[in-house]
Structure 1
Amino acid sequence: MARTILTFSLIFLSLFYVPTKIESTKVAATSPATNFIKASCSATTYPILCVKSLSVYASSIQRNPRQLVETALTVSLERAQSTKTFVARLTKFKGLKPRERAAIKDCFEEMSDNVDRLSMSIKELKSMGQARGKEFIWHMSNVETWVSAALTDDSTCVDGFSGRTLNGRIKSSIKARMTNLAQVTSNALALCNHFAEKY
Structure 2
Amino acid sequence: MTKLSKSPGLSPVEASALADCVELSGDSADELSRSLKEIANTNFGDPNFGGQINDIQTFVSAAFTDFDTCLDGFSKKASGQVKTKVGTQVLIVEHLTSNALAFINSYATGPQTTSP
CA displacement, residues 111-143 of structure 1 (integer Å, 9 cap, x when unaligned): 000100000000001123x35254111111111
How far residue 166 of structure 1 moved from its aligned partner, in angstroms, is 1.4
Q: Within 2, Cα distance between the matches of 1:174 and 1:109?
A: 13
CA displacement, residues 137-173 of structure 1 (integer Å, 9 cap, x when unaligned): 111111110000000011111111223x611111001
Give identity over the alignment, percent: 37
Report the counterpart of residue 159 of structure 1 in structure 2.
72
Report the counterpart of residue 100 of structure 2 in structure 1.
188
Q: Within 2, Cα distance between the matches of 1:162 and 1:170?
A: 10
Match of residue 137, structure 1, among 50, 63, 66: 50
CA displacement, residues 3-44 of structure 1 (integer Å, 9 cap, x when unaligned): xxxxxxxxxxxxxxxxxxxxxxxxxxxxxxxxxxxxxxxxxx
Q: Within 1, Cα distance between the matches of 2:24 and 2:107?
A: 27
Report the counterpart of residue 37 of structure 2 in structure 1.
123
TM-score (norm 2): 0.89
Q: How many residues align?
A: 111
Conservation of the 8 A alpha-carbon contact between 2:60 and 2:101 = yes
Q: Which runs of 5+ in 2 are unaligned?
A: 112-116
Q: Within 1, Cα distance between the matches of 2:25 and 2:80?
A: 21
Q: Which segments of structure 1 move beyond 2 Å, counting only runs of 4 or more? A: 130-134
Report the counterpart of residue 38 of structure 1 in structure 2.
none
Match of residue 108, structure 1, among 18, 22, 30: 22
CA displacement, residues 26-70 of structure 1 (integer Å, 9 cap, x when unaligned): xxxxxxxxxxxxxxxxxxxxxxxxxxxxxxxxxxxxxxxxxxxxx
Q: Secondary structure at the match of 2:9?
A: coil
TM-score (norm 1): 0.53
CA displacement, residues 87-130 of structure 1 (integer Å, 9 cap, x when unaligned): 110121001100100000000000000100000000001123x3
Rg: which structure is higher?
Answer: 1
Give the RMSD, CA atoms, in angstroms: 1.4
Q: Secondary structure at the match of 1:162?
A: helix
Match of residue 11, structure 2, among 97, 107, 114: 97
